[in-house]
Amino acid sequence: MAAPLMHLGHQVQLLEGGIEYFPALVEDIDRAVREVRIETYIFHFEGAGLQVAQALERAAYRGVEVFLVMDGIGTPDVPAEWAQRFTQAGVQWHQFLPLGRLGVFIPGRWRRMHRKLCVIDAGLAYCGGINILDDLLDPNYGVLQSARLDYAVRVQGPLVADAQAAVVQFWVRLELTRKLEHFSLKGVRAALEATQEPVSADPPRPAKPHDHTFANAAAALLLRDNLINRSRIEQAYRKAIATARHEVLIANAYFVPGSRMRRALISAAQRGVRVRLLLQGRYEYFMQYHAARQVYGVLMAAGVEIYEYQAGFLHAKVAVVDGYWATVGSSNLDPLSLQLAREANVVVDNRAFARTLHARLEHVIERCGKQVDPQTYAHRPWKQRLLDSLAARLVRLMLFLTGRRY
């Protein structure tokens, strides 16, 4: 497995939850002078999401080009008011691959746009697991009692060019698809000409002194798609785990690892590496919740420590290995992320950044994590076992229907 190409010279800021993420994002959108490009799985037009929508509208009215992509499942409906407001302001937006009535029965439409990327003036990027969704709101569960746990990074440096290229390329594809659907060759030509003009990057914007910002960090952007980047994120995880000497700490919302990932974690634990997993403790979705529990036994038998997050919904997709390698992104360690979805993770090789993320995860585990007891797990009720087994079989069936192995 080839390691990702890391470059020095990055300024990386760690952001925990919407309370840190949204004020920074809105401020940077308000400072944009030429272009804002956002991709998100969920765009919810309430609370903090409403603030982002208003910032995009303001940017478009002052002449900034604004491009927004939302996933058609994560964001099935854009409120009529905001569709009109975006159009009037000049915000250009797409919903990626809406399911329609029969889409759920078409395996090809299970490939989603799940990454959360924002690039501003080609010089600043955001990447992580945080949707444009208020921490205390949920489209399915309404108002939450406690904020969901999630992370993102704000980055300046060489990898921003990769993020810019990725979001531009995806937008071009969406525009071409739309034009072709309308049989407009002239429109296709116009789309290509409009999106191929490069935007030069602005000088770095200084971070606030008290922020968790780390200078001259080595970092790389890892993308997953269904073409040439099918396994880069998973390979980076497995490479880091395979070379770990002391500790692997992973927080992941939807954890249904494939055989190779399970073997990597088991091998690390068996050679004396402390392996800890912070996973979802509250029921959210049937398949992810129960399929994850099906693999607990074999991992704990090898010495892996599993903690379940109790305070609310866990949405993080982060990891720290040996106190220097860290990743923050949108990719879960499950087949939806690693086999079907478009994802984006930033990998950082910097001890100060890794220590900070590690300390935050340690704090969460101490305050809100409940360790799974192997004996209690082994004697869980038969109904629980049945549901866990059923969920795991559904995962395998889903992958079979898409022609993938996991």
Tell me the pairing of strands 274-280 and 247-252. Answer: parallel
Look at residues 39, 124, 125, 22 and name the one whose alpha carbon lies nearest to residue 341. 39
Supply the DSSP symbol for 311: S
User: Of the listed 114, 212, 290, 358, which one is catalytic?
Assistant: 114
User: Of the listed 10, 179, 317, 358, which one is catalytic?
Assistant: 317
Residue 44 annotated in active site: no
Residue 114 annotated in active site: yes
Close Cβ partners of 333 (under 8 Å, ≥ 6 residues apart): 234, 237, 250, 252, 254, 255, 256, 257, 261, 317
Residue 363 annotated in active site: no
User: CA–CA separation, 291 vs 216, rounded Å?
Assistant: 40
Supply the DSSP symbol for 378: H
User: CA–CA separation, 72 vs 78, rounded Å?
Assistant: 10
Residue 121 annotated in active site: yes
Residue 208 annotated in active site: no
Tell me the pairing of strands 137-138 and 142-143. Answer: antiparallel
User: Of the listed 71, 121, 150, 162, which one is catalytic?
Assistant: 121
* Cβ–Cβ under 8 Å, residues 40 and 34: no
User: Of the listed 315, 334, 358, 388, which one is catalytic?
Assistant: 315
* Cβ–Cβ under 8 Å, residues 348 and 328: yes
Residue 211 annotated in active site: no
Read off the tokens for 119: 């690039």
201-204 long-range contacts (CB < 8 A, ≥24 apart) are 201/121, 201/122, 201/123, 201/160, 201/161, 202/33, 202/121, 202/122, 202/123, 202/124, 203/123, 204/11, 204/123, 204/156, 204/157
Phi, psi for residue 306 in degrees, rounded to 5: -120, 125
Burial of 219 (0-12, 13-18, 19+ CB in 10 A): buried
Beta strands in 199-284 (DSSP E): 213-224, 247-252, 274-280
User: CA–CA separation, 120 vs 290, rounded Å?
Assistant: 39
Residues designated catalytic? 114, 116, 121, 315, 317, 322
